Amino acid sequence: MQQDKWILVTGSSTGIGRAAVEALSTGGFKVYASARNPGDLESLSRLKNVVPVQLDVTDETQIASAVAFVRKQNTGLFGLLNNAGIVAAGPLMDLNINDLRTQFEVNLFGLHAVTRGFFPFLLASRGRIVMMSSDSGFFATPFVGAYCASKFALEGYSDSLRRELNGFGVDVVLIQPGRVKTPIWDKGAPFLNRFPGSMFEKTAVALGKHAIQRGKTRGLEASVLGKVIEHAFFVKKPKIRYLVSRNNFRYTLIKLLSDRRVDRMVQAEITALTK
């Protein structure tokens, strides 16, 4: 029964991670909710069926400590939600190599370190690994290239891992949300004027402002993602991918059309925003 099943969630402080913790803990699971900030851990500790765990996914020492903590609790682990992630926005030709390294340290390398660290628990329980991907994992948009690259990499990583684990009883599931109303949009403004004088400045700023406005006003509520995540852990045979957006048909069309056709669609949107 799910009340005997524990799930570790990374990036539990706000947004999708917090919504996932709340949905899982009220849905009958018990949750190890990880975060970096002590204040966020204090807030998480007040939730029923939730045990806070300090964890920075880029810190190998903290990962080892978290693994040791879970082992000491003797609860086992049924699931892992790899949710922690960041966005490095800006024109690719203006980003330096450290920007890309930071993006991948969290969104891919940290995810791998956490997954590898907790894998023995998941193998023992024949449990489940759920990856928080994005529509940016299959539809690359301009001026968030580093983020898109990290999510494309996550998709490939997850497909390979799933196929490697075939026959071992451990499922690997991808969640692909479109825009979601989370505090991440409030953090976007500083990126808009990060590269003054860039040849891409006008277009990047226009698209950035549009994305922030749409995210705040048209994004899905994080609770919607929380319920999808709960389902992905609860259902006996989960889907490999869950696309969660206001317009799944648009994404289906994008996957069917030629790259050139999609390029023209994107360029038409850019032209309309920069007139």
How far is 228 from 8, CA to CA, in rounded Å? 16
How far is 22 from 191, CA to CA, in rounded Å? 30
Residue for token pair 């045990």: 51
Q: From the DSSP assignment, how many helices (H) and strands (E) are in the chain?
A: 11, 9
- Three-state SS string across 6-74, please? EEEECCCCCHHHHHHHHHHHHCCCEEEEEECCHHHHHHHHCCCCEEEEECCCCCHHHHHHHHHHHHHHC
Q: Annotated catalytic sites, by residue?
A: 147
How far is 62 from 274, CA to CA, in rounded Å? 45
